[in-house]
Amino acid sequence: MEHAVINRINKVFPDSIGAEMNIEVGDILLNINGQSISDIIEYRYYISEEYLEMDIQKNNGEIWTLEIEKEYDEDLGLEFENPIIDQSKNCQNQCIFCFIDQLPKDMRNTLYFKDDDSRLSFLQGNYITLTNMKDEEIQRIIDYRISPINLSVHTTDPDLRIQMLNNKKAGNILSVMKSFNEHQIKMNCQIVLCPGVNDGENLNQTIADLKELEHIQSTAIVPVGLTKYREGLFPMEPYGQHAATKVIDQVESWQSIILKEKGRRFVHLSDEFYILGDGNFPKVEDYEGFPQIENGVGLVTKFQAEVEEVLAQRRTTLSKDVQSQKKKSEDRKKRVKVQLITGTLAKDFMENIANKIRENMASIEIEVIPVKNRFFGETITVSGLVTGGDILETIKNRETKKSGENDFNTVMMIPKAMLKAEENIFLDDLTLKDLEKELGKEIVISQVEGKDFVNKLLRIIEKYQN
């Protein structure tokens, strides 16, 4: 049965209701309260009740009917082989800024799939345009109270949004959002800003429209990413320093206005704008809890604050490390060098972080190595799109020009964002093990989080110094 295969359970959390009911991995969910379950939204909706009757098909083929009494909205502690219990919906838009349309040929097939699925928005935080949904599907968001939902807005001008998304259904975004707002559906919004298209006065109008919807929690503005594979696509130039600074001034002006009106800033720029522009990042408190951190909004400020906090907490320990190193005779073969791999955009920021580490850890050499993105083109500067092949080429070219590297135990550190979510593989399909083998050195993965970053450095010191 196709339906049964779709609803196969692949995880039962310990101490959950599911575990108490002896539900096991491999069991199949048949129905809840007599209703067959077609996707994860229906599942979440039906399990919210306080009393459930569930039919489960066991591994041996037996059908169990389970009666469950629980708290309202209490989870059962089950996960399925397919997280959304259905096929993801493919995006039919042809957005002028779509990154997937700018990929080179012959990459792995999964990278070319465009999803625009409300279920993935709810479950995984994906941003959706609403253009690939039928009216009844939009109504279902309201009926099932799917919240929060993440929306790719880009502009509230109907005609411009139709042009930007190349979809005649794209013009009604504001009316749909007003309906969500009336039904208290929480929303997070994203605007991909394209020079000369939806910035300037159009951005003013978009922010003015969005700020009137009280259930929008946050709005992120990110610059368009442009690869070298744009032949035949909408002509566009990347943001430079002058244009980025202009956007910063514009958005900070809006933040001041909205802060007075609502007591919060509401709209935030991604870090790229500040790096490209004036370099003056907002303070931690200005990001209001970092609601758009996954969009790169406040990542730099948060990371730096976390590094400084961890270093301050460990100041006594680290100062002992400094003193002990001063007393030791220099044995360069036992010293550790860590090469911090980053995209070119974050070079100056990572140099600043490296300086803080140097001040506190005498037993470690830090070298920041920015990697030019030859795979996608040098206009792509973020660390998350750096490929294994470009790292390999950068390191090999650099080390042929330098001597003395063998005097150190050299370890490379890369951010987790460079790798596939569940696998240690780069965008160009080079694996972490392949890269380690080619370079002959250990590669340590750090979460993009200050505490993990410092702790990984301390573990490297402990491993190679003792």
Helix (H) or strand (E) holding 302: helix 299-313
Helix, coil or strand: residue 268: strand
Cβ burial 389-402 (10 Å sphere, 16+ → b, else e): bbbbebbeeeeeee
- Work out the pLDDT band at 142, boundaries 50, 70, 90: confident
- Work out the pLDDT band at 69, boundaries 50, 70, 90: very high
Q: 285 pLDDT exceeds 70?
A: yes
Residue corresponding to tokens 């990984």: 456
> Which of 207, 198, 342, 223 minimizes the C-alpha distance to 273?
223
Q: What is the CATH code of the structural domain delimited by 2-80? A: 2.30.42.60
Higher pLDDT, 363 or 189: 189
Q: What's the pTM value of the predicted model, to 2 decimals?
A: 0.78
Q: Does domain 302-465 have CATH number 3.40.50?
A: yes
User: Distance (Å, rounded) from C-alpha 187 to C-alpha 176?
Assistant: 12
Every domain of the chain and the residues it spans:
2-80, 100-296, 302-465
Average pLDDT, integer, range 138-147: 81
DSSP string of 16-65?
SHHHHTT--TT-EEEEETTB---SHHHHHHHTTSSEEEEEEE-TTS-EEE
- What angle do the packed helices 299-313 and 347-360 form, to 10 degrees? 0
Rg (CA), the chain: 25
Q: List Cα–Cα distances, 210 to 146, 173, 178, 289, 437, in angstroms.
A: 20, 11, 9, 20, 51
Q: 360 pLDDT exceeds 90?
A: no
CB 84, CB 37: distance < 8 Å? no
Residue-wise pLDDT tens digits, 291-344? 999 889 999 999 999 999 999 887 755 455 544 554 444 444 457 889 999 999
> Which of 392, 384, 351 minimizes the C-alpha distance to 368?
351
- 100-296, superfamily in CATH? pyruvate-formate lyase- activating enzyme (3.80.30.10)
The tokens for 267 are: 């709209």
> In the prediction, which pLDDT does 279 show?
81
